[in-house]
């Protein structure tokens, strides 16, 4: 005959498995570069305003607390950027977010300078979202990687 303690172990294991499955089911938001606007240009640098489309592939609402990214243009790394303004995404919803990205022109290869001068190129953004489910204080780090063909606006 099974004791009450021996019945608790399978129930606890089932509960842990259920909780792990529910946590693992949260999918990373998708991020696409929507627009890139060249802002102020100085002798040594330029400011880029990057507009991203962020989409929640989950049926549940999530909160993107922040995200960090590395931006490349035509295969040349421009540097790292971040956005610390949090925003909520309802289930299956999309939001546009603009991030300021400072570029040091002196460190750019000639190929990237030519892309900025021609106002078009291929961008790649790779990084991490820090996301919480609505009502939860726990942050989850979820990666992203996206490419886009761009025409820059001045």
Q: Model confidence over 16-72: pLDDT tens digits? A: 444 444 455 899 999 999 888 888 888 888 888 999 999 999 999 999 999 999 998
Q: Which residues 6+ apart lie within 8 Å of 99 measured at CB?
A: 49, 50, 52, 69, 81, 82, 83
Please indicate, yes or no, if residue 53 is contained in any of the structural domains: yes
Q: Is 121 domain-assigned?
A: yes
- How far is Cα 70 from Cα 74, in angstroms, rounded to an integer? 13
Question: Would you place residue 147 in the very low, low, confident or very high pLDDT band (cuts 50, 70, 90)?
Answer: very high
Would you say residue 72 lies in a domain?
A: yes
Instruction: For residue 22, tell me if it sits in a domain.
Output: no
DSSP string of 101-145? EEEEGGGS-HHHHHHHHHTEEEEEEEEEEEEEETT----EEEEEE
Within a domain: 21: no
Over residues 119-127, the mean pLDDT reads 88
Number of domain units in the chain: 1
Residue 82 lies in domain: 27-151
Q: Is residue 76 part of a domain?
A: yes
At 8 the pLDDT is 56
What CATH number has the domain bearing residue 118?
A: 2.60.40.1820
Tens of pLDDT along 80-111? 999 999 999 999 999 999 999 988 877 777 75
On the question of pLDDT at 1 being above 70, the answer is no
108 in a structural domain:
yes
């Amino acid at each position: 005959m099974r004791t009450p303690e021996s019945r608790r172990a399978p129930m606890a294991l089932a509960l842990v498995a259920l909780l792990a499955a529910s946590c693992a089911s949260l999918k990373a938001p998708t991020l696409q570069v929507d627009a890139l606007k060249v802002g102020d240009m100085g002798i040594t640098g330029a400011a880029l305003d990057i507009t991203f489309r962020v989409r929640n592939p989950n049926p549940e609402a999530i909160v993107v607390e922040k995200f960090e990214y590395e931006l490349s243009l035509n295969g040349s790394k421009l540097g790292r950027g971040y956005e610390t303004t949090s925003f909520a995404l309802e289930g299956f919803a999309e939001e546009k977010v603009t991030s300021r990205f400072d570029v040091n022109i002196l460190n750019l290869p000639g190929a990237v300078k030519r892309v900025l001068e021609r106002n078009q190129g291929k961008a790649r953004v790779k990084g991490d979202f820090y996301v919480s489910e609505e009502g939860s204080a726990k942050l989850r780090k979820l990666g992203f990687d996206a490419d886009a063909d761009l025409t820059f606006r001045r």
